[in-house]
Amino acid sequence: MVNKKWNVQKTLLIVGEGYHDEAFLNHVKRLPGACGNGVKITIKNARGKGALNVIDHAEKLSRNFGYDHVAALFDTDTDWSSKAAQKAKQAKIQVLLATPCLEAMLLRCIDKVPGDPHQLKDQFAPFVGNAPGKPESYIANFNLAALQAIRDQELTINDLLLLFNL
């Protein structure tokens, strides 16, 4: 009988609220040095509907696949509440809060002051080549150096970089 050595990897699930979150998370996953130290990272999309939906989606995936660590990235402008926080805590899901939304948080990262909340997606689009749903669109303005430079001011970026071992 041949003994096989099993390489055990830690697993991390990060669920983004929508397509832009998923694209940004996949961009960060592709940065040099990410996914090091034997961590297998899975990115999923909850397809919108606010914080509670993202937490529910992450909880279901975690239950079905048994990830070692689970995190959820979502905007705070849609149903983020003490109820949602409690649900995440009970499910042992690390929350990554994009305040008030992903676009505003990323605009702050490149020293652009977010304007009218209803126009943030339009204000943000030129900085990702008008293609915020594609991971490669984030390379020019949101490279590793840019994200590391803002991590002290944007705690969610810091938490995200820590999850990716960056």
By residue count, the chain amounts to: 166
> Residue type for 85, please?
A
Amino acid 115: pLDDT:
77
Q: Which residues contact 128 (CB under 8 A, 6 or more apart)?
A: 134, 137, 138, 141
d(CA 95, CA 81): 12
Amino acid 116: pLDDT:
80
Q: CA 19, 92, 13: angle at the middle one, nearest 5?
A: 35
> Residue type for 31, please?
L
Amino acid 113: pLDDT:
79
Q: Which two tokens stand for residue 143?
A: 């490279």
SS3 state of residue 116 = coil
d(CA 90, CA 88): 5
Amino acid 36: pLDDT:
64
* pLDDT beneath 70: ranges in the chain: 1-8, 36-37
Q: Which residues contact 92 (CB under 8 A, 6 or more apart)?
A: 62, 70
Amino acid 114: pLDDT:
75
Helix (H) or strand (E) segment spanning residue 132: none
pTM greater than 0.85 (yes/no): yes
Amino acid 1: pLDDT:
57
Domains of the chain, earliest start first? 10-163 (3.40.50)
Helix (H) or strand (E) segment spanning residue 96: strand 93-98
Amino acid 62: pLDDT:
92
Amino acid 93: pLDDT:
98
